[in-house]
Amino acid sequence: MGNWSRFNIASIVLGFGFLYLPIVLLVIFSFNESKLVTVWAGFSTKWYTQLWHNQALLDAAWVTIRVALISATCATVLGTLAALALVRYTRFRGRMLFSGMVYAPLVMPEVITGLSLLLLFVAIGLDRGFWTITLAHITFTMCFVAVVVQSRLLSFDQSIEEAALDLGATPVRTFFAITLPVIAPAVFSGWVLAFTLSLDDLVISSFTTGPGATTLPMKIYSQVRLGVTPEINAICTILIGVVAIGVVVASIVTKQREAQRERDERAAFAQS
């Protein structure tokens, strides 16, 4: 870190400015006294208190969280199973097709995914609402979970599963006692990824929603069309805060675990 040349400093300032200036402005204006978003009139937290009385916004938040929890959990189960099938059974018929189909939503434009799901729901006569959004979210987040879990499974030492079988555990018990605990961190990060993707999805939700099921991104978007209020800034600030805390906590925990592991290994070698 010795070389802080002017060029380095300039690129860092520019890069971070580009990324975070809009967010910083948003956070600052969420504490603005004035109703006018762009005019600073002193510090206030009144927009935050007002949030608690905006029932529509709270409802939307509650819908979003429920959709995200359910869809992330289902997507994690399905995605993990898909990853297992892809990594473990390398020679089944139609494997290429299967893996292509699992990963297609990864690159598919959201508009197309949303539209096709809408057509499907209409065709089979499913009433659009909470459950159609959830189903749609499961569909498009599952492949992200599969990617994360698959990369973990590729480095998984399969002999530990064989050891479990050898010691008398049935394949099902082996999966729950050995495989799942070992890949759990990857499964969990897959879940977190699916949860966040579901939380901030706007396009697919808009296509598959129905009466009474408005998610927070949809609510914010529709309100913004009528003009940005400081209330929106406030709720966005809360969202940013939640995400930031999550990221920081996760990275601290990982760092500490790694450090602990290194210490343990050094101790083991010192003794031997």
Partner 1 sequence: MKSLGSIRRSFAPWADPASKPFISVKNVTKRFGDFTAVDDLSLDIYTREFFALLGASGCGKSTLLRMLAGFEQPTSGEIILDGQSLAGIPPYRRPVNMMFQSYALFPHMTVENNIAFGLKQDGMPKADIAARVQQMLKLVKLEKFSQRKPHQLSGGQRQRVALARSLAKRPKVLLLDEPLGALDKKLREETQFELMDLQQELGLTFVVVTHDQEEAMTMADRIAVMSHGKVIQVATPAEIYEAPNSRFVADFIGDVNIFEGAVSGAEGGYVRLEGTNGFPIRMASPETPATGGKSAVAVRPEKIRVSRQPPAHAPVNAVQGEIWDIGYLGDMTVFHVRLKDGRVIKASSLNAVRAVEDPLGYDQEVWVSFGEDAGVVLKD
Provide the binding-site residues for partner 1, judged by CB under 8 A.
157, 159-160, 162-171, 173, 177-178, 181-182, 261, 264-265, 267-269, 271-272
Distance CA(207)–CA(81), nearest Å, equals 28
Other CB atoms within a 10 A radius of the CB of residue 147 amount to 17
CB of 168 to partner 1, least distance (A): 4
CB of 255 to partner 1, least distance (A): 17
For partner 1, the closer of residues 91 and 225 by Cβ is: 91
Residue tagged 């402005």 (tokens): 25
Cβ pair 206, 118 in contact under 8 A: no
CB of 94 to partner 1, least distance (A): 20
For partner 1, the closer of residues 127 and 264 by Cβ is: 264
For partner 1, the closer of residues 46 and 173 by Cβ is: 173
Distance CA(269)–CA(62), nearest Å, equals 52
Cβ pair 240, 27 in contact under 8 A: yes
Nearest to 31 by CA among 3, 4, 51, 7: 51
CB of 162 to partner 1, least distance (A): 6
Any bridge partners for residue 142, and if so which? none
For partner 1, the closer of residues 163 and 259 by Cβ is: 163
